[in-house]
Structure 1
Amino acid sequence: MTDALPTYALWLIAAMAFLGYVLGSVPFGLLLTNLAGAGDLRKIGSGNIGATNVLRTGRKDLAAATLALDAAKGMLAVVTAWIMTPPDFSDYTSTVAAIAAVIGHCYPIFLGFRGGKGVATGLGVMLALSPLTGLAGCAVWLGVARLTRISSAGALSAFIAMPVVILALYGFSFQTSPKPLATVLISLLVLARHHENIGRILSGTEPRVGEKKR
């Protein structure tokens, strides 16, 4: 990889960032619940558009579909960027698309920039960027969530673990690959979006899976 990217590479990076953001902005949870007649997701539970809040509608099928589609849109953003750009800078376009997709989910243009917390989309982009890291994140998320029955605890644990895993894989120099830096940035965003959950976990008031939000 040369020190200076050619002009067309910068345009491709910008285009993939735009594509990632638009894909990330698609609110599958809201669309599915509206189509299924389950009500306006923004007026249910936490008002979040993610799978955990969809589960509060009582529709496990819709929650599972939301989880899968939110992860898939993140994976699609990364894979599309990887395919559409030359190998010498595809790592850069794919990581930019990954970050943009998570930002899009958290701050979707279609919903006045009020979106979800980025967990499923974040796991989706990580599965595409670094499959081992993504699988480790999924394992930690499922394990902690099952042990504690607190979905947010699983998510927080996963996004704390993934930067550690990818740094172990790629080393501590961000010059080797942009993927570790992207993982850290995505994880920080997801953790920041969970600041209220962190407060409730510490106070012991965070609802468990199957309970209504207090």
Structure 2
Amino acid sequence: MGRTYDCSDREQMLAGMRAARQAIARGEVIVAPTDTVYGVAADAFSPAAVKRLLEAKGRSRQQPPPVLVGSTEALHALVEQVPEEVTALVERFWPGGLTIVLPAQPSLTWDLGETKGTVAVRQPNNAIMLELLAETGPLAVSSANLTGQPAAIDAMSASSMLGERVGVFLDDGPVSTGIASTIIDATGLAGRGERIVRVLRDGAITRDELREVLGDLLEEDAGEDPPQ
């Protein structure tokens, strides 16, 4: 069983952050809070670490994890291009609960699974995770739960599901929302297929909020009336 650090205690938080950085450097997986749900995280550039992350969740390579970044500059380093509409989304919703799928930078040497040349990127709005990202660089992060189980909203829930698969648990109390991020496919804006943005998963950012930025570029949901 990995050790849990209480981040409400400053000394434990500092020790926990140090332990988390060391664990990530060793290619292990950790659990840490985000602004949406707790996440299980690993070095995005270590194929062995990403493999451990997927195994911890009981996932296959056909379900690659998103990548969390600590800044918008990191987004530009990970993707082939950032269309101006994506820049507008980032300015409006980052840091926050919006994950954006774009074509990955071809020069990157990483293996997140069967991504078909894309990467799902998000900047979370959580001080602990942002500090960790500033020190480690981009992390592959997925919700801290076994596949098929509800996403963990606190460290204890994550520990009960993932247990010995995880080296370090950073406990910052229950997350404020417990609502997973909205995932959108913006590859069409980068020249891959129809110039439209599709919602792959509804979550923290609503379709109405997305439409305020994207207008008619947002694909209509089957249950929506056409925009007037």
- TM-score, shorter chain, exceeding 0.5: no
**TM-score, length basis structure 1:** 0.29
**TM-score, length basis structure 2:** 0.28
Q: Which has the higher contact order (CA 8 A, sep 6+)?
A: 2
Comparing both structures, which one devotes a greater share of its residues to strand?
2
Comparing both structures, which one devotes a greater share of its residues to helix?
1
